[in-house]
Structure 1
Amino acid sequence: MQDKSRAPARLRADGDSLVLVQPIRALDQTRGAALVLRYPMAQALAPYRPLMAAVIIVGLIGATLVAAASWALSRGLAKPITALDEAARRLQRGEEVSVEVTTHDEIGRLAESFNLMADEIREREADMVHQALHDAETGLPNRRALERAIQDRLIGLAVGEQVVIGTIGLDRFPQVRAAIGYELATQLVAKLGQRIVDTVPGLIVGRLTTSILCVVSTTTDTEDVLARAEALLPSLEAPLQIGGEPVDVHITFGLASATKADIDASRLIEHALIGLDQARATHGKMMVFDPVAYGDPASNLSLMSEMLEAVRNGDLFLNHQPKLDLRSGQITGVEALVRWNHPTRGFLRPDLFVGMAEETGHIRALTDYVLTQAIEDQARLRAAGHEVLMSVNVSGRLIDDQGFAEHAIAQVMAAGANICFEITETAVIGNPDIALAVLARLAEANIRVSIDDYGSGLSSLAYLKQIRADELKIDKMFVTALESGGTDALLVKSTVDLAHSLGMKVTAEGVETREVIAALQLMGCDLAQGYHVAKPLAVDKLVEFLDAWAIDLPVKTESRLSA
């Protein structure tokens, strides 16, 4: 049997006490015995309380240090990341931004990369802005940049100041470009722009179109600007060295001004461009935009719509002005003149809508209508027993239109009409090869060609020689001055002789008196047209006029041809 006195003691907690139980050998072998010791818990733990307090304090201090270190570490990481995030947001809004680099760790390298990216974005944006505001070929400010500059100046105008816009057009630029090439022609534009900048410091100079520059300035005296611009013309037109060779420069000015910001920049530029067109139309070197001559664009557009409607409805009509043969005394031809009695605007002069039809591209429709009516009126004259040559005015814009030519030829040949096309001498200047080919085709179809208003423009003997024309019409400004003699008489006489030497007949326009008739006869002129012969007549009145003329031909001849 095991000796119970050697059994291990057991320690346990019992409420507020510690109990130690140690088995002992009993006197009575039949019963066990144990020694039980009870000790209060508080007294047992009393020696350990200072140690426990120290452990708790140390634990709290450790936890505090860990928390502080964690906070410091998170702050050290979060602050630069937050700064990067804010910088990225500002960069997204288009602001210029950079991040301060304070470390050389991963965060520092990230900040350096961000700054490099921001610099590249700024450079690209600056390049994009420059491209958006400058002409790629010349480096000059483009229209958008000019409009911004003009608008800024309009807004900032002081009392008495004006913004003046000048458009400078290189004359005959397509011909210059064809002669020297595209690249050198572009250099010509760029060098002209630089010449203007060097000549007049402080001007804003930009490129509006391929061949038109624009200058912007502010002034208190528009007349002074005009005088200075006129004085600068000779120096601006001095030849420029392009590709090592001198190239002649010929320019035309268009000007417009505004005294307050009641007009936007785009409209002001358009006014200056119109001024340039007006200068070229009058063969001048400079013109200030004339709003009266320009008219109302909305009204003009409406007028063209109404004209097309009138063409479709047959509301236009023709009057015919007779041409008198100065040798036979007979009426051998008439000129068809379009007329329009507008339902609300009243009678409209042809120059009010014909020129506009040319500019807006509607001249083909108008000319087709006039030709159709002229052929019909000629048929009525033939039915009444009168065979006369019917002349129709044809725009120079249609002479190099082969489609129009073929359509007109087919129409004339189908009707067996006796038609003459009156064109201006400058009609062949735009596309001479095509125009001369069209004129040759008209001659083959027995459609005669008359050169109208000879002497009113830039007469060219070279083109006159090439044009296969049957008739030359001397402009009325020379004819009406014949009575006074002088150089006009010499010019008319030399023109008659020149035309005859080229195989053409000569018609004098604007004949108002018998004295002019007599002078023309002495010069050998063939035909006369004007109010002294007859005013333009509707076809019914023309039939009556021709009937009366044929019946009383000797009297008519005497009254018209005798001085």
Structure 2
Amino acid sequence: MSATKILGLVRFRNLRTRLTVVYMGLFGLALLLAAIAVVTAVTNSAQRVVRDEMTAAGAVYSQLWTARSSQLQQGAGVLAQDYGFREAVATNDEATVRSALDNLRARQGVDGALILGVDGYATTTGLALDDAALDRLFTGLESGQIESGVLAIDGQAYQVVAAPVNAPVLIGWVVFAERLDAAQMRNLEQLSAIPLSAAVVLNRVSAPTGDGPITVRTPDGPSMRLDRPLPSFDKAAPADLVLTYPLKRAMRPYEALFWWLAAIGVAGLALLMGGTWALSRGLTRPISALDEAVHRLQQGDYVEAPVTSADEIGRLAASFNAMVGDLRDREARLTHMALHDQETGLPNRLSLERQAAAQADAWVVLFGVDRFEVVRNAIGYDSMARLLAALGGRLSALADGAPMARVGAGALGLVIVAADEAEAVGIATRLAEAAQAPLMINGAPVDIALTAGVAGRGAASSDLASPVDRAAIAVDQARAARRMVAAFDEAAYGDPGDNLSLISELMTALRDGDVTLAYQPKYDFRAERITGVEALMRWSHPRRGFVPPDLFIGMAEETGHIRPLTEWAIRRAIADQKTMAAAGHVLTVSVNISGRLLSDESFADFALAEVAASAADLCFEITETAVMDNPELALHIIARFAEAGIAVSLDDYGAGLSSLTYLKQIRADELKIDKSFILGLDQSSRDALLVKSTIDLAHSLGLKVTAEGVETPTALALLRGMGCDMAQGYLIGRPVALALLTEQLAAPVVELDLARQA
């Protein structure tokens, strides 16, 4: 693995340390490579010297061996050719033989001498041969292949030479033996220029080294070894002259050099570390300052890095400072955009919420511009933006300079400090009244009217914890109550989140039978009896209890679930009508149809098919305003109902913006006067006049009239006198379940009591 890869695996927290370590690592690597090269070169040189010396010593030893062998052979040959000695050998004159051998052994300086006869008998002097050695010697000489070599006697190596004794035939051999012991080896070692170790090895196990020395492992470490094979009288046990020299002895003269190299390397590393540290410190100080500035910038602190030089680092710091300035300006612009309305330049909702969150006793006052869309369409979008900006300035001035924020399309808000809700409402009322003066826009006065909502913080766990949301709802509540200022009424607002789950629960209730129909009777003045009933939905929730129809029917209309609800009501009403007929009560059943279904041809097909299949006597009650969304299609569907024999009743007449145009166009059979006129009939002459004129108008158009909300006998009598056709209300009967209605209709006293009251 390269140094670069090794350094890449190390993680540094600062550049200064990294530079120091990298440079030291590279320098150390260079020193290491140089040291390896020097040591390798020195070692190779020392080994080469030792190899040459050992090769030379081996050659010298070989020459000495040959010379000594020749010398001994000459001495033995002289003795073997002596006539008297040959005669003594031939006559077995052992004393003469032994005397001659001793004399010659002394002159030659050998350790032992002997005469070996061809019969294997030996006469020795100075040396005793064991039988094994004598057998090897005799075998070698008898073979005629060796006369000089190594012979092992009692485990000790001897240089042995022999000369034949002929008289005139071979009768034996004169043999000299010289011990190759440690003293002899030291004599050989002293002949070398280097302190070699010499030894004669018998029964060699390892392979010979050949012509040159080799490096081997020894207990003292690596050594050079040279093997010189010697002739041996035992072919099965070769003999070698082994020269060894420990390499550490050859390297000893260079140890001082190596120590000096190591000292120089350490000193160089230390100097490099100091120099690199100082250099890197100068280089990394501005970089560290730039890094610190970047971290502080990341935390939102716009600081500039010091520019300490004109080089690349200095230019980088200058560029960074320019970037910081641009970021500061850009963030200021983005912050302004995030907290201000782009059309008016006023603070926005987020700004208002921050102001409200910053004060514990803060109250949010929202001012809604009444008829905002009408005014905007009249003066244009740009002029409306200028109007809101001017209105915001006026309200801010009236509120002692409090910042005014634009919260919605036509809503402005500010934060006030008040001790309680009453004080906050009082401040809001004063501001709203004072601000409703005309504003000059494009040189023309524009009248404005304001509705204000006041709210404080809600519970943290509430969906409406934000005072801005609560104030916006308070504006709607004020408009619904037709008041200028209103505080947020949490009880009136209820729990819309919980109400949203009603729709899915309503569909389940339809399947489980928790939704039922209650029937309210309708009294016929001319027949003087109950001739019809209105089907009204009732839902008993297992957790909420009784759920008002206005709540779940209105939500069903908004969420698109009104059709399955109405289809169920039609089927249920048809089935209940058959039950009442079977009990002897033939009544017309009125079912309310949502205006959203009057633009649905497929619903009309369903309703007509159900009525046709059951021959039911139904009346569909619709509101007059139901035809406003799609008048052409709604009038077409109503006409289809009329042609199929289904009576159509205009419900809640007079409660909305009644139109004679629609009254003329709708093919209706009945007109139901809203209960708001009937409840005050016996107390208000204006209501009586309106009811009488409505009855006359309906009769003129061929419509029957039903009055809702009849609760007193006086109202019933007045309606009879005005020519009203039918009455419906608590006096006639409350909405009840089918079984109870059947029981009530079975009692004739009901008809008699109503007739008597009328």
| 2:738 counterpart letter in structure 1 | V
Which residue pairs with 1:84 in the alignment? 290
- Structure (1 or 2) with the larger CA radius of gyration: 2
Which residue, out of 535, 541, 550, partners 2:734? 535
2:569 aligns with: 370
What is the CA distance between 1:433 and its match in structure 2?
Answer: 4.0
In structure 1, the partner of 2:304 is 98
CA distance in 1, matches of 2:619, 2:390: 48
Alpha-carbon displacement from aligned partner over 1:172-228 (angstroms, at most 9, x marks no partner): 555666666666655655554444334434444334443444332221243233234
Q: Give yes or no for the alignment of 1:225 onto 2:424.
A: yes
Q: How far is 1:318 from its partner?
A: 0.9
2:517 matches 1:322: no
Q: Which residue of 2 aligns with 1:27?
A: none
Query: Is the contact between residue 364 and residue 416 of structure 2 (CA under 8 Å) also seen in structure 1?
Result: yes
Question: Deviation string for 1:152-177 (max 9, x for gaps)?
Answer: 22xxx2xxxx3222333444555666
Other structure's SS at 1:537 match: coil
C-alpha contact 1:456 1:475 (8 A) present in aligned 2: yes
How far has the Cα of 1:494 moved from its partner?
A: 3.3
Find the counterpart in structure 1 of residue 649 from structure 2.
450
Question: 1:483 aligns to what SS in structure 2?
Answer: coil
Q: Is the 8 A contact 1:147 1:266 kept in 2?
A: no
TM-score (norm: length of structure 1): 0.71
- The Cα of 1:519 is off from its aligned counterpart by 0.7
* Residues 1:173 and 1:512: Cα distance change in structure 2 (over 3 Å): same
Q: Residue 150 of structure 1 contacts residue 265 of structure 1 at CA under 8 Å; is this kept in 2?
A: no
Name which of 292, 300, 303 aligns with 2:499. 300
Secondary structure, in 3 states, of the residue corresponding to 1:84? helix
The number of residues matched between the two structures is 484
Q: Please say which of residues 345-354 and 113-122 is displaced more in the overlay.
A: 345-354
Change in 2 beyond 3 A, CA 1:203/1:365 = farther
Kindly indicate whether residue 327 of structure 2 is the aligned counterpart of residue 121 of structure 1. yes
5 Å matches for 1:414-429?
A: 415-425=614-624, 427=626
**Paired AA for residue 499 in structure 2:** N
User: How far did residue 123 of structure 1 move?
Assistant: 2.1
**Structure 1 96/272 Cα, relative in aligned 2: closer, same or farther at 3 Å?**
same
Greater shift in the superposed pair: 241-250 or 273-282: 241-250
Go from structure 1 to structure 2 and tell me whether the alpha carbon gap of 1:438 and 1:259 turns closer, same or farther (over 3 Å shift): closer
* C-alpha distance in structure 1 between counterparts of 2:554 and 2:450, whole Å: 25
Q: Provide the rounded CA distance (Å) in 2 between the counterparts of 1:461 and 1:138.
A: 44
Q: Is this contact kept in 1: 2:641–2:648, CA < 8 A?
A: no
CA contact (8 A) 1:409 1:442 kept: no
Residues 1:339 and 2:538 are matched in the alignment: yes
Distance in 2 separating the partners of 1:465 and 1:518: 29
Structure with the bigger RCO (C-alpha within 8 Å, sep 6+) is 1
Structure 2: distance between partners of 1:398 and 1:192: 43
> Residues of 2 paired with 1:462 and 1:169: CA distance?
34
Partner residue, 1:438: 634
Would you say 1:269 and 2:468 are equivalent positions? yes
Q: Structure 2: how far apart are the matches of 1:201 and 1:417?
A: 70
Give the residue type in structure 2 aligned to 1:315.
D
Q: 1:112 aligns with which of 305, 312, 318?
A: 318
Q: Percent identity?
A: 52
| Superposed displacement of residue 407, structure 1 | 5.3
Contact kept, 8 Å, 2:395 with 2:435, in 1: the verdict is: yes
1:84 and 1:470 map into 2 onto residues whose CA distance is: 88
String of CA shifts for 1:100-131, please: whole Å, max 9, x gaps: 44666655544332222111112222233333
Q: Give the counterpart letter for 1:483 in structure 2.
A: D
Structure 2: gaps spanning 5 or more residues: 1-272
Q: Is the 8 A contact 2:598 2:633 kept in 1?
A: no
Q: Is the 8 A contact 2:457 2:466 kept in 1?
A: no
| Contact persistence 1:326–1:561 (CA under 8 A) | no
* Distance in 1 (alpha carbons) for counterparts of 2:661 and 2:425: 36
Equivalent of 2:348 in 142, 155, 159: 142
Query: Paired residue for 2:751, among 550, 556, 559?
Result: 556
Q: Which moved more, 1:317-326 or 1:390-399?
A: 390-399
- Within 5 Å, which residues of 2 pair with 1:143-162? 143-153=349-359, 157=360, 162=361
2:101 is matched with which residue?
Answer: none
Return the alpha-carbon distance in structure 1 between the equivalents of residues 379 and 700 of structure 2: 37
Deviations 1:223-263 (A, max 9, x none): 23323433444554555556666655454333222499897
Residue 145 of structure 1 aligns to a residue whose secondary structure is: helix
User: In 2, Cα distance between the equivalents of 1:451 and 1:406?
Assistant: 21
Distance 2:408 2:602 in 1: 30
Residue in structure 2 matched with residue 491 of structure 1 by the alignment: 690
Please say which of residues 309-318 and 492-501 is displaced more in the overlay. Answer: 492-501
The residue that corresponds to 1:474 in the other structure is 673
Question: Please, what is the CA RMSD of the aligned residues?
Answer: 4.2
Q: Kindly provide the amino acid, as one letter, of the partner of residue 683 in structure 2.
A: S
Amino acid at match of 2:293: A
Structure 1, unaligned runs of 5 or more: 1-66
TM-score using structure 2 length: 0.54
**CA 1:358/1:115 → structure 2, altered by over 3 Å: closer, same or farther?**
same
Quote the Cα distance in structure 1 between the aligned partners of 2:647 and 2:329: 67
In structure 1, distance between residues paired with 2:288 and 2:532: 94
Q: Secondary structure at the match of 2:301?
A: coil
The CA deviation at 1:477 is 3.6
